[in-house]
Amino acid sequence: MGNASSSQQAAQSETLSFFTQEELNKVKSEFETGGVENVQPLLEKKVKELDNTELNIAVTGDSGAGKSSFINAMRGLSKRDEGAAAVGTTETTMEPTGYPHPTLRYVRYWDLPGVGTTRFTAGSYLKEMQFKKYDFFIIVSAGRFRENDANLATEIKRLGKEFYFVRSKIDADLYSMKLEGGEFDEDAEMGKIRSDCVSKLGKAGIPDPNVFLISSFKKNMYDFPQFMEALADGLPSIKESVFILALPNTSVQIIWKKREVLEKRIWMLAIISAGVGAIPVPGLSAACNMEILIGAIIDFRKCLCLDDAALRILAERTGKSVEDLKAAAQSFLLGEITAPVIVRMGLGAVGVTVSAVESALYLIPVIGSLFGAGSSFLMTYSILSDALQLLVECAEKVLAVAKGAE
């Protein structure tokens, strides 16, 4: 019983993290004086804020380190895709260039010019790049650790910003070592490279730095999966949730993290549905707002990389067709989301138990009980929870197919 209580408290704490104390007090006051109808606009504002939260990620490092390829990998694109960062053997970035996420337009990766170019010396670089405007930094380095890498890390630390150090092109480094002949232990060689980076960053005054060895073309290998899971650490709660949703689906763990973020939004949408002039759903014993349900499920698909645009990019990369990927997912939720589709889901949600009601209501901060709003809240909550779980399962199946093809 104690473990269940601790789990509920943790879930409630995570849900509350979307709100400031002032916002929570406002929600409580409005609910006590006007009920759900007064709370609805406050939650609509919060959902809009979550959707429009800006996140600016700076990708910096020496010229030729592979920054553009890295940005494309983080956005799930190849250099041939529309909107991809230009990739070349010479310096292709001459000024900070922002690349928006394919579906989350307020998330932007900034490709900064190489610090080692003649146009930008180490002394002028830090000032001209306006470092303060970025939420966190990724230093991309290739080959041996350089003085510029240490200078960048030191300045970022001075600004009080989080940074991650990425040693790129590790696949090429390891391949070259193999060609030299003799005994070769990949894990041991990676350990030496990682230790060298950590040691030299330590000498520059950066204790316990985050160092990852990756290939932008092999996102399921080396340190790339661990890198993806570590990236959100250190961000404020709302920005952390936005960044998690912007990550490509490189592992089951990333998909699960996305589910956790989206679960926190469901109760807000359910209350909004309960407070709106709800549209009756034929064949159901409750009223739901169809626009909210359809919009939420389409949004879930985008965040889980299951929309047609994301599937087309994945199909190109893996040599599979979009139809093959959808067939592997085996879900009607990857087709057009219409009122009959919602009805189909709602019919399966009618038999919700009282314990499920209590579990859902427990996660609602301050308000306490919404039994007065009743059926509309519960039906929306149940339908969206079921839809999210089905889409998570779809994402896992598509990932398995992609890994098999790669």
Domains in the chain, start-ordered, CATH in brackets? 2-34+249-405 (no CATH), 55-243 (3.40.50.300)
pLDDT of residue 63: 76
Q: Give Dmax over CA atoms of the chain in angstroms.
A: 78
1 residue type, one letter: M
Give the contacts of 241 (CB within 8 A, at least 6 positions apart): 18, 50, 261, 264
Per the prediction, the chain carries an average pLDDT of 74
Task: Give per-residue pLDDT as tens, 289-306.
Answer: 677 788 888 989 988 999
pLDDT of residue 281: 43
Task: Give per-residue pLDDT as tens, 57-93.
Answer: 889 887 778 888 888 888 877 777 777 887 764 555 5
d(CA 60, CA 138) in angstroms, rounded, equals: 6
Q: Is the pLDDT reported for residue 132 higher than 80?
A: no
Q: Are 64 and 142 in contact, with CB atoms under 8 Å apart?
A: yes
| Cα–chain center distance at 119 | 34
Q: What is the mean pLDDT of residues 166-192?
A: 83
At residue 324, the 3 state secondary structure works out as helix
Within 10 Å of residue 399's Cβ, how many Cβ atoms? 21
